Amino acid sequence: MPLIEVEGVDKYYGELRALRDVSLRLEEGRIGLLGPNGAGKSTLLKVLLGLVTHEHGSVRVFGREVAREPFEVRSRIGYMPEGDSVMPELSALDFTRFAGELCGLPRSEATGRAHQVLHYVGLGEARYRKLGSFSTGMKQRARLAQALVGDPKLLLLDEPTSGLDPRGRDEMLSLILDIPRRTGTSVVLSTHILPDVEKVCNQVVVIAGGSILYAGDLAPLVAPEAGVYEVRIKGDPEAIKKPLEIAKCVVTASGTTLEVRVPTGKDLNFILEVAVESGQQIRHLAPLTQTLERAFMRTLEEAGQSAPEG
């Protein structure tokens, strides 16, 4: 049974069409939900939770129709919403215990679970402090704790590393990686920060303009592309760029590195031959490393979507 099944879903906010005929089929695992700001990521998470209604289509989580059994579905999901969604007048313990009680736990059990998850996220010594006194990183950990307190089978995390410094971001990502290993819980990580997904996830959903552009395993998306190589030479790269283009290669310059696509049927030896004929000395020649950022940008371009700024 797939973890998540979405078929033909639209969502409007007045005249704004936030989701456009969205269809997804995702297995258990660590899923990255990628897209620029305003792409529809947060709306999709809320649709999966049944917190907002959708037009047309159907949504199933754990094989259950969300529109028909929203409370049953939500009882098995931990949700970490985007933004500063804490109650500043409560202590971390009271806040997390309250979340546990909302999940249906008896107060004593919710209290015990709150102590456990606060220790797990690194807030054990600060659990009696009010959330209003917490730093951004501590608030993010408290929000993660409240998502974990009900022992969910699926975690929906909306921009969990937003606003964190590099150390805080690494620590948050380490926690997100550790949770599935310890508990078998599946995770949906919604973010516009591509390296976070590359570090944590094994499945990816790319969304832009409310439409799904890619959904599937991460590995094929970042697999090296056949016939494309990184080239650096001794001296000015322009000295070999022109001969390569004459030889019908497609060449893109990025500083001192050239990205070279050789003609069909050729390999890196073709580049070496051009270098010898033009009297150039190759210093670096290797298959182009495909990053998630490169694959993401290519996916947007192929769909006719604008690349995000920044």
Average pLDDT over residues 181-206: 92
**For residues 271 and 275, what is the distance between their CA atoms, to the nearest angstrom?**
6
Q: Is the pLDDT of residue 235 over 70?
A: yes
Average pLDDT over residues 130-158: 94
pLDDT tens figures, 279-290: 999 999 998 877
Amino acid type, 225? E
Query: For the chain, how are helix, strand and coil distributed in percent, rounded to 5?
Result: 40, 25, 35
Among 62-71, 76-85, 88-97, whose mean pLDDT is lowest?
A: 76-85
pLDDT tens figures, 16-56: 999 999 999 999 999 999 988 888 999 999 999 999 988 88
On whether the CB atoms of residues 293 and 199 are closer than 8 A, the answer is: no
What are the structural domain ranges in the chain? 4-216, 228-287
Fold type of domain 228-287: Alpha-Beta Plaits (3.30.70)
Q: Is the pLDDT of residue 309 over 60?
A: no
Amino acid type, 170? D
CATH superfamily for domain 4-216: P-loop containing nucleotide triphosphate hydrolases (3.40.50.300)
H helix intervals, the chain = 41-49, 70-74, 92-102, 107-120, 136-148, 166-183, 194-200, 218-222, 238-246, 268-278, 292-302
Instruction: Calculate the dihedral angle through the C-alpha atoms of 206, 168, 121, 103, rounding to the nearest 10 degrees.
Output: -40
Instruction: Calculate the dihedral angle through the C-alpha atoms of 52, 83, 157, 56, rounding to the nearest 10 degrees.
Output: 20
Q: Read off the pTM.
A: 0.81
Across the chain, what does the average pLDDT equal? 90
pLDDT band with cut points at 50, 70 and 90 for residue 305: low
Instruction: Give the pLDDT score at 310.
Output: 39
**For residues 278 and 245, what is the distance between their CA atoms, to the nearest angstrom?**
12
Provide the token pair at 48: 């999966």
pLDDT tens figures, 132-142: 999 999 999 99
CB atoms within 10 A of CB 78: 25
**For residues 79 and 93, what is the distance between their CA atoms, to the nearest angstrom?**
18
Among 133-142, 194-203, 259-268, 292-301, whose mean pLDDT is lowest?
A: 292-301
